[in-house]
A = this chain, B = another copy of it.
Amino acid sequence: MSTLKKMEILKSYIETKGLKSTAQRDYIAEVFFKTNTHISLEELLKKVKRKTPAIGYATVYRTMKLLTECGLAIARQFGDGQTRYENLPEHGHHDHIICIKCSKILEFQNEKIEHLQSETAKKLGFTVISHKLELYGYCAGCA
């Protein structure tokens, strides 16, 4: 989904909820929609402050909560104590592999796994709509 489309969704969500549109919120969302990693709040705040140093971290927290609420961001905890926010990918879906020592996160796709998943589900009478797959282990550097 494009950034433009996401901004539209946000706008209409704000309208339906009777909220007000603000420059800070729009800018935080805009910066976030440009990311393609699992960004922590701290990192996002740093990015945002480059142009708008006056912004407070509470506002960033509030904005990310809003984006999570309306489905434009996915909040994930990988076990290092910090929530990371994932921007919906432009094209399709991916899974994660996380280093339990250095917290490095890689993304991967595997058609065969996806296929096996729906097959396994079918045997149990289920139709798969979505899934979450996270692998935990040691990366090359930490092995």
Residues of A whose CB lies within 8 Å of any CB of B are 75, 77, 79, 97, 99-100, 106, 108, 110, 112-113, 116-117, 120-121, 124-140, 143
In this complex, what residue of B is CB-closest to A116?
Answer: B113
Q: Tell me which residues across on chain B come within 8 A of A130, comparing CB atoms.
A: 135-137
Q: Are B140 and A131 in contact (CB under 8 A)?
A: no
Describe A's contact surface by its main secondary structure: strand
* 13 extra A-B contacts, CB within 8 A, seeds A106-B124, A125-B140: A77-B79, A97-B120, A97-B124, A108-B120, A110-B116, A117-B133, A121-B137, A127-B138, A127-B143, A128-B136, A129-B137, A131-B134, A133-B134
Inter-chain contact B133/A137, CB cutoff 8 Å? no
User: In whole angstroms, what is the CA distance A129 to B136 when docked?
Assistant: 6
Q: List chain B residues, Cβ under 8 A from A113.
A: 113, 116-117, 120
Docked-complex contact B136 and A133, CB < 8 angstroms: no
CB-based contact B135/A108 at 8 Å: no
Per CB-CB distance, the 8 closest pairs between chain A and chain B, nearest first, are: A125-B140, A77-B77, A128-B137, A129-B137, A132-B134, A131-B135, A127-B137, A130-B136
Q: CA of A8 to CA of B36 in the docked complex: distance in angstroms?
A: 45
What CA separation (Å) do A46 and B77 show in the bound complex? 25
What are 21 residue pairs bridging A and B, where the CB atoms are less than 8 Å apart in the complex? Answer: A77-B77, A97-B121, A97-B126, A106-B124, A108-B124, A113-B113, A113-B116, A116-B116, A117-B135, A121-B135, A126-B138, A126-B139, A127-B137, A128-B137, A129-B136, A131-B133, A131-B134, A132-B133, A132-B134, A133-B133, A133-B134
